[in-house]
Amino acid sequence: MKHWFLMLLIGCFSLPAHAVLKIDITEGVEGAAPIAIIPFKWSGTAMLADSDITQIVNSDLARSGKFSPVAEKDLLARPQRPQDIHFKTWRVSGVDHLVIGSVDKTSADRFKVDFRLFNVYRGEQVLGYSFTATRASLRTTAHQISDLIFEKLTGLPGAFDARIAYVTSQQFSGKPPEYKLQVADTDGYNPQTLLTSNEPIMSPVWSPDGSKVAYVSFETGLSAIYTHDIHTGERVKMAAFKGINSAPAWSPDGKALAMTLSKEGNADIYIMSIKSKSLRRMTKHWAIDTEPAWMPDSKSLIFTSSRSGKPQLYRLSLDSGARPKRITFEGRYNANASVAYDGKKVAFVHGKDGLYSIAVLYLDTGLMQVLTEGPLDESPDFAPNGSMIIFASQDRGRAVLAAVSTDGRNKQRLALSDGEVREPSWAAERN
C-alpha cells in the first residue's frame, strides 16, 4: 500500500486563542480519482490565507480517500477561464476532472465565489455554482464547494460542510487537568469551546438537527447528562440520578435521549423524553447494558451488554418486548456501536488479542470487517454520508482523532496542536 504523509492544514493564525486540529493522511489512496484544482483567482483583495478556498477544497477531497488532488507544483497549467482549458493536455496527464474558480471582493464584507467542475475526457462542464459569502463564511463556502463536487462525482452527499464535537484534556504540572468540550468544522477549523471543566467531560453527541450537543459532565462532582444549545449556550440538566448517568444518544427525531443509568443498582438502558423528562426503562439485567445507538427507523437500539460474560453487541426491538438479540460473535470484546444513517452498517470497537480496533458489521449478511489496527481505537462515529468513520486513537501514547473510509482503504489522523483529543461526534447537518 502506498503511504502518504501529507500535512494538509497547519497553524492557528486566525484563531490564536484556540488549539487547531491538523490533519495528516497516513494511508491511502489506491483507486482515488485524480482531480486538478486550479488555484482560485482572487480579485479586489489579496488571497486571504485562512480562507484559501483552493487549499480547503483540496484537503477535503483528499481526506475523503476518493480523490487524489494534483499537487499545486505539479499542475501543467493554470487556466482561469473555461476557454483557456486545453483538455487534451490534461487528458494525457491522466487527470479525470478539473476545477477552476474565482473569488471577487465586491464590497466591504461581500465576496462572490464562483467555481466550475469539468470532465476532462468529455471536455465539458459538469457543474457550476456561484455563491455570495462574507469574510467569516468563506471557509464554509469552500466546504460547500467540496460537498457539491463530492456528490456530483460519487453520488453520495458530501459531509465536509458539517461540525464535529469532541473532548480535549490537558495536564498541567501542579494543577488539576483541564477538560474542554469543543465543536469545530470537520477539518478542525473554527473550534469553539462549549464547556471548560477541571472534572471529566464525556460522550458528546450531536442532536439530529445539529443545533445541540448532549454530553456527560462531572462538574458537580457527580456525573450528569446535559443538553447544550451551541447557538444560545442554553444548558439543560437532563439526568443526574444516583449512580451513573452515561452514554446519551439522540433519537432520530430528536425528541428523546437513550441513556445508561444505574439508579436501580445496575447499568441499564433507559429512554427519556426530552420534553417531559419521563423515563422508560428498556433493559433489566444483572449484566452491564450500555452504549445505546438508535437504528434510523427508531424501532430498535443497538447496545453493548456483558450478559454473555464479555461485552458484545445486541439489538433490542423497542416495541416487541422480545429479548435482545446478540449480533456480534467474533472476538471477546465488541462494544460501542455507531449505526450508519442507511441502517445497514454498524461501526464498533472490536477487541482481539489485546488490540482494540474499529470494525464494521453489515447487518444484512452478518459479515464483519476490521478497518484499523489499534492498539487502542475507540469511539467510532459515522460521517453523515456513511463514507467515513471518525474515531479516537492513540499515536505514540497521545490521544488523537482519526478517520477511516468505510471500506478501510484510506486512513488519516487529526491531531490537536496540544493536549489529548477524543470522543468525536460528527453532526448530521450544520445548523
Partner 1 sequence: MKTRIQQLGLLAVFVGTLIIGCAPATKPDDAVVAEPGAQVGTVGGEGVAGASALQGMTVSYDRNAINDPKNVLSIKTIYFEFDSSDISEDDTEVLKHHGKYLSLHNDVKIRLEGHTDERGTREYNVALADRRAQAVKRLLLFQGASSAQITIISYGEEKPAALGHDEASWKLNRRAELVYE
Footprint on this chain of partner 1 (rule: CB under 8 A)? 200, 202-203, 218, 221-223, 242-244, 246-247, 260, 262, 265-267, 288-291, 304, 306, 310-311, 333, 335-336, 349, 351, 354, 356, 376, 378-379, 394, 397, 422-423
Cβ at position 199, least distance to partner 1 in Å: 9
- CA distances for 125 relative to 32, 147, 278, angstroms: 21, 17, 55
> Judged by CB, which is closer to partner 1: 208, or 248?
248
Cα gap 356→289, rounded to integer Å:
20
Closest distance of CB 405 from partner 1, Å: 22
For residue 276, give the C-alpha cell.
417531559
Q: Which helix (H) or strand (E) holds 142?
A: helix 138-154
Min dist. Cβ of residue 326 to partner 1 (A): 16
- What is the smallest separation between the CB atom of 77 and partner 1, expressed in angstroms? 50
Closer of 211 and 379 to partner 1 (Cβ): 379
Residue number with CB closer to partner 1 (153 or 267): 267
* Three-state DSSP class for residue 204: strand
The span from the CA of 81 to the CA of 84, in Å, is 5
Tell me how far, at minimum, the Cβ of 293 lies from partner 1, in Å. Answer: 11
**Least CB distance from residue 53 to partner 1, whole Å?**
37
**Considering beta carbons, is residue 185 or 291 the nearer one to partner 1?**
291
- Torsion region of 309: left, alpha or beta (phi above 0 gives left; psi -120 to 50 gives alpha): left
Count other C-beta atoms under 10 Å from residue 106's C-beta: 11
CA 207 to CA 198: how far, in whole Å? 25
Choice between 163 and 422, CB closer to partner 1: 422
Residues 6+ apart with CB under 8 A from 224: 216, 217, 218, 237, 238, 239, 240, 245
Question: Which of 160, 215 has the CB closer to partner 1?
Answer: 215
Query: Which amino acid, residue 220?
Result: T
CB nearer to partner 1: give 142 or 269. Answer: 269
Q: What count of other Cβ atoms lies within 10 Å of the Cβ of residue 145?
A: 30
> d(Cα 187, Cα 194) in Å, to the nearest integer?
18
Burial class (CB in 10 A: 0-12, 13-18, 19+), 357: buried
For the CB of residue 165, give the shortest distance to partner 1 in the complex, in Å.
15
